[in-house]
Structure 1
Amino acid sequence: MSNHNHSAFQHKTVWVTGASSGIGEGLAYTLAKKGARVILSARRLDELERVKVNCEHSERHHCVELDLAHSDRFKSLVEQVINEYGPIDILINNAGLSQRSKVLETKLAVHRQLMEINYFGTVQLTQCLLPHLLERQQGGVITVSSLVGKFTTPQRSAYAASKHAITAYMDSLRAEPHGQGVQFTTIYPGFIKTNLTYKALLADGSEQNKMDDAQAHGMSPEVCAEKILKAWQKGRAEAYVGGKETYGIYLKRFFPRLFARIVRTAKVT
């Protein structure tokens, strides 16, 4: 690893949500290796502690309990984190909830829950940290969306809607404080081998509790994390991370009718 590669995150404080598993866990390990100080957030402190202990220089990192469903607490939480651990350089919005169910069977409560976590919670955390980032005129926000934030597949209606929403918000945000030294990068992962699919909500709001085949054969979270950080380093506004499923973005854009036909029968679980 070249020294230059190391220095982009060296001594930077990076706050990662959803750090207790999957891509977030991969990001924590990768950032720690690159010399960053990581603030790990998720709902389960015991899992965060496990990840922290497995990070290089574990004494350097901190665990902060955070539930995206309770966004009314974020203003004071952000103040508390900055007071305790100093300035935040980069926020990585990675926590999220998925879904596997047919449109007709999906209760509105499932839509609300996914919007609350994937959209409202993420927006509020970003908003609360934004003045701090703009004041310092450096660093920024990496948001881990999903390929379904660009195109939709069957059985993901609520999930895809919430990811499309966060895409739109981040696009607006990127356009507004342009030239103020703050970077906004949105990442669109495809099939990554994580337990996101275990936690996916079914039509009635219960958890699916199994891993999708496509996910089981996906890219490792560590490789994904490496690609996310590389995209940030290159100053990219967006990056697609995954295997051939990422071609769906171009297929939809340039051959929308063909895409519509393929997606109807796509193997998505």
Structure 2
Amino acid sequence: MQLAQKTVWITGASSGIGKALVAEAARHGANVVLSARDKAALVQVVKDSGLTPANSLILPLDLSRYKKFDAEVKTVLKKFSKIDFLINNGGISQRSLAAETQIQVYEEIMAVNYFGNISLTLAVLPSMRSRRSGSIATISSVAGKFGTPYRSGYSASKFALSGFYEALRAENFKENIQVSIVYPGFVKTNVSLNARTGSGKKQGTMDTGQSVGISAEECAQRALAGIVRGKNEIYIAGPKERFAVLLHRFFPGLFARVIRKAKVT
């Protein structure tokens, strides 16, 4: 994997898939920019990944405050002069029925998962366009390919990302900018513990599907390999989830009957 001396900026880097992406990028010799809200957690990730002050930059970021990220981009460019890969991984999930979910919960999910995500991309994009080089990736979900119960807001935010990044890819083809969308299935992380309920509180429990999902390390390895190879779409899911994607695409009526009975937590 050709990442030596490349600059890789990863959001949601304090835990789960993001932490594993940091370790994988570091293993391949990249300069890594780590962003999340918890600075202390990021410091620990740097230590765990074997990074040094010379090849890492801790840059705390709250994606819900998405109006402007220009200052953060300047900080990265000042240290590493360029951004080769931006991997938008930060986000939150949901576990609640639509009829029982307050509108404020939807607003929070969209602020973090969609507006915060694309705002950082838009801030980084000019530097990539000026160099006519760069790769932008977003970690979506198979829930961004089809809606499931208890994830109406989460699925909506991931669907929105697909539309944005597919358009961005087409618009920047001549600028030599690669855009990748990663669609993981169940991954064993704390995402379900931190998922928002209908009132906005954290669920606080681990889903059964999440607990038996693939490891964050495997997900990160496969995701980063696909991003570096320049793949447009990268699916990292088990047989049932991959089958659901195909069923939704080719037999939507049958899918609609199946998904309403599926165990999704």
Q: Which of the five TM-score ranges fits, normalised by the shorter chain?
A: over 0.9
Q: How far does residue 242 in structure 1 lie from its aligned partner after superposition? A: 1.6
Q: How does 1:227-238 map to 2 (within 5 A)?
A: 227-238=222-233
1:80-112 alpha-carbon deviations (Å, 9 max, x no partner): 221233211110000001000001001100110
Distance 2:152 2:25 in 1: 33
1:83 aligns with 2:111: no
Aligned to 2:23: 29
1:14 aligns with 2:3: no
Normalization by structure 1: what TM-score?
0.95
1:44 aligns with 2:38: yes
- Any conservation in 1 of the 2:8–2:84 contact (CA below 8 Å)? yes
75-84 vs 85-94, which moves further: 75-84
Q: How does 1:118-133 map to 2 (within 5 A)?
A: 118-133=113-128
Letter in 1 for 2:72: L
Distance 2:184 2:231 in 1: 15
Distance 1:223 1:57 in 2: 20
Distance 1:179 1:227 in 2: 27
Aligned to 2:252: 256
Q: How far does residue 78 in structure 1 lie from its aligned partner after superposition? A: 1.3
Question: Of 43, 58, 65, which aligns to 2:52?
Answer: 58
- Any conservation in 1 of the 2:188–2:210 contact (CA below 8 Å)? yes
Distance 1:14 1:57 in 2: 13
Runs of 4+ in 1 over 4 A off after TM superposition: none
Aligned residues: 263
Aligned to 1:191: 186
167-176 vs 81-90, which moves further: 81-90
Aligned to 2:220: 225
Aligned to 1:268: 264
Normalization by structure 2: what TM-score?
0.97
Q: How far does residue 38 in structure 1 lie from its aligned partner after superposition? A: 0.6
